[in-house]
Chains A and B, each alone.
Chain A
Amino acid sequence: QVHLQESGPGLVKPSQTLSLTCTVSGDSISNIDYYWSWIRQPPGKGLEWVGYIYYTGDAYYSPSLESRVSISLDTSRNQFSLELTSATAADTAVYFCARVVTWRREADSWGQGTLVTVSS
């Protein structure tokens, strides 16, 4: 059974880069049947799709974040990562990593989420 676990700083200063890593166990991020995605949820609000990456390294981002976001793979560690530059208070959220089935495109497995607060 696949397990995803987010890790990274819980506090980021404004204008700095928010960086998170998702460690996957029980599956390989080279599995051609899945995308690997990031989704966030500001406190008390709804879910926002951030972006996803395929085993080829091709990544796709939400248009609203595209200028600031980057998702990458580390196949040697079976991890994928998120970087969000020029962070502001509006980026304060619980960040989830999730596995997405390629042909049906549902997020079938999620990490527990990690809260990142952007504050000085």
Chain B
Amino acid sequence: DVQMTQSPSSLSASVGDRVTITCRASQSVSNYVNWYQQKLGKAPKLLIYTASNLRSGVPSRFSASGSGTHFTLTISGLQPEDFATYFCQQSYHTPSYTFGQGTKVEIK
């Protein structure tokens, strides 16, 4: 399986901060990386697809970029509802579309 390594595994930030999460793939996954947000006890929600495309209805403070093996998710102006765990996922190498281990964003 392709390994997806997220960093950091957790971070503390304040409302209004700019936050960046990194995801590195063990081999090239082209631009087939998706980002999800998961709140405690809930199913993940899709934020970003194919590396940089914002899903309809997702606030524009979320952005992402990358290709090949290096990807980033940025939240510009953290809001109280953004405190959650974020996962990257590669969907290039079938049959296992592997996820990163997650980054928990906590309130400072």
A, B from the same assembly: yes
- Chain B residues with a Cβ closer than 8 Å to the other chain, count: 25
Q: Which of B90-108 contact A (CB under 8 A)?
A: 91-92, 94-102
Cα–Cα, bound, A52→B97 (Å): 10
The segment from B12-20, B43-51, B64-72 found at the interface with A is B43-51
How many A-B pairs have beta carbons closer than 8 Å: the answer is 66
- Name the prevailing secondary structure of the B interface residues: loop
Listed by A's residue number, 17 A-B pairs whose Cβ atoms lie within 8 Å are: A46-B101, A46-B102, A47-B36, A47-B89, A48-B99, A49-B89, A49-B97, A60-B94, A62-B95, A63-B1, A100-B91, A100-B97, A106-B91, A107-B44, A110-B43, A110-B44, A113-B43
Q: Residues of B with Cβ closer than 8 Å to A?
A: 1, 32, 34, 36, 42-46, 49-50, 55, 87, 89, 91-92, 94-102
Q: Residues of A with Cβ closer than 8 Å to B?
A: 46-49, 51-52, 60-64, 96, 100-101, 104-108, 110-113
